Amino acid sequence: MSYRFKYFLRFLIFTLFMCYSAFGQNKDVGRELKRLNAKIDRVRVMVDSLELDNQILLPELMSAFRQAVKSKAQQDSITLVVLKRLNTLSNKIVNLENQSRYMDSTALEIFNKLVLVENKIITLTNSYNEMARLKSGEPISSEPQFNNAQYKETYMKSLGHFQNQNFKNAISGFKELVKADATNDLADNSQYWLAECFYSQKDFKRAIAEFEKVFTYPGTDKDDDAQLKIGLAYQSIGNIDKAREEFQRFIDYFPGSEYYPKAKEAIKQLSIN
């Protein structure tokens, strides 16, 4: 073979080889394209199905959403109304509690004023009774130690000053009597009325101290009076615990006293308030 023929033959073989290779590759590409087209068709079917489902479900979902929003708005409205009513009821309860406290405070104040008025009545009654007994010559205690006319006269004058609310002269007279003769039949009474003078002037702390001195007189018949007044004095200065304690002491030590019901009522009122 000549050189040219060999070259042509090689070129022909190379060309045939390239054509065969291209044909094989085109065949593989075609197969791949078919597979891709099949997948695209399946995806398209799925998309169409989803669009159909959306067309069916979307209106239902929108309707349910609108209903939920409407229901939520109604619940919020009801909740707001309930909260307003609860707030109104709470305010009414607070007002009622305030009114109750005011009524309790007013009742206690009225009770204290009534106690003071009643106390003044009892005090004046006792003072007039003692003056009447002195004028009639009746002894104040069961076992008088002395019957000093001057002591008795000063006592009656001081008691008269007390009844006329001339407390300065009354205090001066009773102090003089207590210092003059602590063993006199009227000494414990003088001490008691001295304390009453301070009580009537609302000097309750001084009155308590003077009332307590009454207990130092043996055989005094003013001990229950003094004990009651001590409780009332503590109540007047606002020491409720101490007042309750003193009233209880009265109940324990003087169950036969004419003031026993008064002490019981005082404890009851203090317990209520």
Instruction: Note the pLDDT tens digit of each residue in 34-82.
Output: 777 777 777 777 767 776 766 776 777 777 878 877 777 777 777 777 7
Distance CA 112, CA 238 (A): 11
Domain membership flag for residue 124: yes
State how far the alpha carbon of 80 is from the alpha carbons of 57, 87, 112, 224, in Å.
Answer: 34, 10, 48, 64
Residue range(s) defining the domain that contains residue 201:
101-272
Domain membership flag for residue 58: no
Domain membership flag for residue 43: no
Domain membership flag for residue 179: yes
* Half-sphere exposure of residue 35: CA atoms within 13 angstroms, side-chain side: 6
Owner of token pair 């007279």: 173
Note the pTM of the prediction, 2 decimals. Answer: 0.50
DSSP 20-70: HHHHHHHHHHHHHHHHHHHHHHHHHHHHHHHHHHHHHHHHHHHHHHHHHHH
Domain membership flag for residue 55: no
Query: What CATH number is given to the structural domain containing 142?
Result: 1.25.40.10
Q: Total structural domains in the chain?
A: 1
Domain membership flag for residue 238: yes
pLDDT above 70 (res 266): yes
